[in-house]
Amino acid sequence: MVCSFVLGNLPSRTRRGDFAKIHFVPSTVVLNVSLLADDFVDVFLNGNLVFTHPNTAMYLNPSSFAITTGFVAGTNTLDFVVNNVTGGGPTGLNALITGNGSSSSIPATPIPPSVTLTLVGIALIGAYVFFQKRRMAR
């Protein structure tokens, strides 16, 4: 997934991305992120800082990092707080995000005992009828 945003001429802007981790075990998820920003960006996962800018000129070379903790079951939120401290020109962000994780196993739904007994009863009635017809045919 590649995200590119031109955020305007304000000194600081926040870009939020919500994503759901459906059928993944939160402790196994890894997001690999590569960023370019004018001038710099800090990244928060679910409100917790996961990346702070290495310098105030992140528009020349991409900064890469991995997010390995802080995920929750359900929806997670990534906030990109972009700052333009040198003034003038637009504030921008380019983010390349890839990720992986282990699938969660979906537990099997047990069949209630009443349903099981009903199916067994139907099978026994069917067997009785089958053998009665067979016996009468002789």
Question: CATH code at 41?
Answer: 2.60.120.260
Whether residue 89 is found in the same domain as residue 115: no
Whether residue 12 is found in the same domain as residue 42: yes
Cβ-Cβ contacts under 8 Å for 24 (sequence gap 6 or more) = 101, 102, 103, 104
Q: Write the pLDDT tens digit of every residue in 73-117.
A: 878 888 888 887 776 667 778 888 888 888 766 565 666 777 777
Whether residue 43 is found in the same domain as residue 73: yes
Whether residue 119 is found in the same domain as residue 91: no
What's residue 79's pLDDT? 86
Whether residue 74 is found in the same domain as residue 130: no
What's residue 50's pLDDT? 94
Whether residue 44 is found in the same domain as residue 28: yes
Q: Are 10 and 93 in contact (CB under 8 A)?
A: no
- At residue 133, φ and ψ (nearest 5 deg) are -65, -40
CA contacts within 13 A on the Cβ side of 115: 4
Whether residue 113 is found in the same domain as residue 89: no
Per the structure, the complete domain to which residue 123 belongs is given by 108-138
Whether residue 65 is found in the same domain as residue 121: no
**Residue 73, SS3?**
coil
**Per-chain mean pLDDT for the chain:** 76
DSSP 91: E
Q: Are 12 and 83 in contact (CB under 8 A)?
A: yes
Whether residue 44 is found in the same domain as residue 95: yes
Q: Please give the residue that has the higher pLDDT: either 71 or 54.
A: 71
Whether residue 77 is found in the same domain as residue 59: yes
What's residue 25's pLDDT? 82
- Per-residue pLDDT for 11 more than 60? no
Whether residue 70 is found in the same domain as residue 127: no
pTM: 0.65
What's residue 15's pLDDT? 67
Whether residue 32 is found in the same domain as residue 96: yes
- Number of separate domains in the chain: 2
